[in-house]
Structure 1
Amino acid sequence: MIIRKPQAARRVSRFRMAVVDYNLRYEGCTLGFGRLAGYFPGIFNDPGSGPRVVATSHPVESKSPSLRTVRVTRFEIFGGLTVWHQGRDRTPSPPKVRQMLALLLVQSNRVVHVDTIIDELWDTEPPASAVTTTQTYVYQLRKLIGGAGLVGSSGELLVTQSPGYLLRVDPDQVDETAFRARVARGRGLLAHGRHEEASALLREALAGWVGSPLSNVTRGRLLSAHVVHLEELRIAALMAWVEAQFALGRHRDLIADLRALVTEHPLNEWFHGRLIEALGRAGRRSEALLAYQTLRTTLADELGLDPSAEIQALQRTVLRSA
């Protein structure tokens, strides 16, 4: 008697699982860096615990079905600073050590001057022992690195190099680096009219944004400025993604996403304009005019301003189409 596997089981057996973050291989499907998100890239599920992963459908050959682990250290800043090594959370607990690591990480592969570290940790009121205390924090960070076996791009992670310190990592060890690269490439594709590819890549980039950067880190002036910069980059990526969707004729699909965006960014006229335009193109003229009135009221109440000439022109276009 021949016992046949169920069809689903036969399909699964054709694939191998590879957890890219830690190079773990076993039977199943393919997992990689990031996380699954809905079609709208600005809304995500609770990140939960453990390294972020997304599923892909292509098969991966495994040299061995047995589980194996390769030493890889990953750094995540979105949704809070987290250091992963071999599947375990190795994030420093002491607030100042965590803050210093965050500064070195966002300036990775560049020497960070001791004075810059002191400015970040204590702003304009450093203690008399600031240099010695900074050295103590460096020692604590080295102790964590050594105890956990954390590794950088050339083995040694934290390097002393006059006049300060350098965190030596590969680009694919840091989620921010991946985010920046995807956004830059996505915007480049958009500029060259490759809208489908741009949309997919920008959506992938935005899916990696699972929360406010460095949300679990005490931030001084330098880290605060860096977070503001990243938030602006996210807005630029969202705008590029919306442009790509419009170019592909998906304005109807965008309406729910744009409503969420104008709620998140109530003073961003560009998002409001795209919502008005999408509603108008979809034949929902009354809702488009209501969206215009909502923006007009918000700007008047908050800033004492009228909508821009571009937004007013959109309103006139909707009125003429009525």
Structure 2
Amino acid sequence: MGMHGMITFQLLGPVCVKLPSGDRFPVPTPQVRALLVALLRQSSTYVPFDRLAEHIWTDPPSSARANLRTHAAALRKVLNICEAGFGRRIETSRGGAGGISAYRLLVDPTQVDAATFTSLADRGQAELLAGQLSAAVQTLTAALDLWHGPIGVDLPNTLPLQAWANSLTERRLAVIEDLAEARLQLGDYTGLVAELRHQATENPLRERLIELLMRGLHVTGDRPAAIAAYQDYRHRLAEELGIEPCPPATDAPRLAKRRADQTSPVHISTGAAGYGRSRPRIDHFGQLRDCFGVEPILR
């Protein structure tokens, strides 16, 4: 999704440079890849030496400055191979003693898949909140299509890179959830339950995923499986964390009278567009119990 005819940088998976032809050019060594990621995280902005070193080394060696120059030279070589003269976009800033104090890489954010992903995720959330469900599905799908593998596995295990990879992985899960929400509200159930089952298996303690899975099972007519999903989640929380999904229902007789054959979609506010902002915890499962009458069945 970068600028037409220019190289783009793929960070959402193994780090590489994507050529205008569509071919991917690998970036050698974890250290050079870490330098590229650190520069692209603040594209066109000077990144000081200390910050770059934190990305590359857990414990920077005494030769870190010399090593960084070597890694920068290797990165320039890769960029020049990908596009003639592109290596000159790595610029340096010199400190008072004449040594290099910072580097920057001059690129447009649209050339970096992680930046494009974040922009699409934000737009998709806004569309979902505004009730523009078809647009949200299209936008969120485009965001997820940018991923081409697990993130960070080919990078040094440094704290800044761990935090960066974890943040993007968390955002990807939020996008998956937003997309499922939009599809549920549209009545587009094809393949949705299978995808939600897969994600719930990978993230068994993630409340919103389980809530979406229960709703997907319910609206596709598998109410017993929806209840079983809740039971499994509740037991996992009790065994692993010693907590309940939410406070127990207080009006079991009323809940028991809920129609067992209710099949209409359940529209529950999930706070999707509040990603990254403080918001009250939403009692997903309290609302679901009101819909499904799950709690009395469990008692």
Please give the range of the TM-score, normalised by the shorter of the 2 chains: 0.7 to 0.9
Q: State the Cα deviation string for residues 276-304 of structure 1 (Å, max 9, x = none).
A: 22323333221111111111121122212
**Per-residue deviation, 1:230:** 0.5
Call closer, same or farther: CA 1:205–1:21 in 2, change over 3 Å.
closer
Instruction: Please point out which of 58, 65, 69 is paired with 1:131.
Output: 65
Task: Identify the residue that residue 32 of structure 2 maps to in structure 1.
Answer: 97
Task: Identify the residue that residue 319 of structure 1 maps to in structure 2.
Answer: 293
Task: Identify the residue that residue 182 of structure 1 maps to in structure 2.
Answer: 120
TM-score (norm 1): 0.70
Q: State the Cα deviation string for residues 39-88 of structure 1 (Å, max 9, x = none).
A: xxxxxxxxxxxxxxxxxxxxxxxxxxxxxxx5x32211122101133545
More helix by share: 2
Task: Identify the residue that residue 113 of structure 1 maps to in structure 2.
Answer: 48
| Corresponding pairs, count | 253
Q: State the Cα deviation string for residues 227-247 of structure 1 (Å, max 9, x = none).
A: 111011112212211221222
Contact 1:289 1:315 (8 Å CA) reproduced: no
The CA distance in 2 between the partners of 1:120 and 1:313, in whole Å, is: 44
Call closer, same or farther: CA 1:307–1:165 in 2, change over 3 Å.
same
Unaligned runs of 5+ in 2: 95-100, 248-282
The CA distance in 2 between the partners of 1:183 and 1:297, in whole Å, is: 32
Q: CA RMSD, aligned part only?
A: 2.6
Q: State the Cα deviation string for residues 232-283 of structure 1 (Å, max 9, x = none).
A: 1112212211221222133575322221221121000111112222323333
Give matches, 1:220-235, under 5 Å.
Answer: 220-235=158-173
Q: State the Cα deviation string for residues 82-114 of structure 1 (Å, max 9, x = none).
A: 113354543332332222122212222221111
Contact 1:206 1:237 (8 Å CA) reproduced: yes
Instruction: Please point out which of 170, 173, 178 is paired with 1:240.
Output: 178
Instruction: Please point out which of 273, 278, 288 is paired with 2:216.
Output: 278
Q: What amino acid sits opposite 1:278 in the alignment?
A: G
Give matches, 1:269-308, under 5 Å.
Answer: 269-308=207-246
Q: What amino acid sits opposite 1:110 in the alignment?
A: T
Task: Identify the residue that residue 11 of structure 1 maps to in structure 2.
Answer: none
Contact 2:14 2:148 (8 Å CA) reproduced: no
Unaligned runs of 5+ in 1: 1-19, 24-69
Call closer, same or farther: CA 1:225–1:184 in 2, change over 3 Å.
same
Give matches, 1:49-198, under 5 Å.
Answer: 72-85=6-19, 87=21, 88-123=23-58, 125-150=59-84, 156-162=88-94, 163-198=101-136
Q: What amino acid sits opposite 1:300 in the alignment?
A: A
Q: State the Cα deviation string for residues 211-235 of structure 1 (Å, max 9, x = none).
A: 1123222231111111111011112
SS in 2 for 1:90: strand
State percent identity of aligned pairs: 31
Q: State the Cα deviation string for residues 110-135 of structure 1 (Å, max 9, x = none).
A: 21111111122223x32222112212
The CA distance in 2 between the partners of 1:85 and 1:106, in whole Å, is: 20
The CA distance in 2 between the partners of 1:133 and 1:295, in whole Å, is: 49
Contact 2:43 2:108 (8 Å CA) reproduced: no
**Per-residue deviation, 1:145:** 3.0
The CA distance in 2 between the partners of 1:22 and 1:169, in whole Å, is: 10
Q: Is 214-223 or 252-261 further displaced after alignment?
A: 252-261
Call closer, same or farther: CA 1:264–1:84 in 2, change over 3 Å.
same
The CA distance in 2 between the partners of 1:216 and 1:151, in whole Å, is: 26
Call closer, same or farther: CA 1:301–1:270 in 2, change over 3 Å.
same
Q: Is 274-283 or 105-114 further displaced after alignment?
A: 274-283
The CA distance in 2 between the partners of 1:282 and 1:295, in whole Å, is: 20
Q: What amino acid sits opposite 1:317 in the alignment?
A: C
**Per-residue deviation, 1:176:** 1.4
SS in 2 for 1:240: helix
Call closer, same or farther: CA 1:151–1:74 in 2, change over 3 Å.
farther
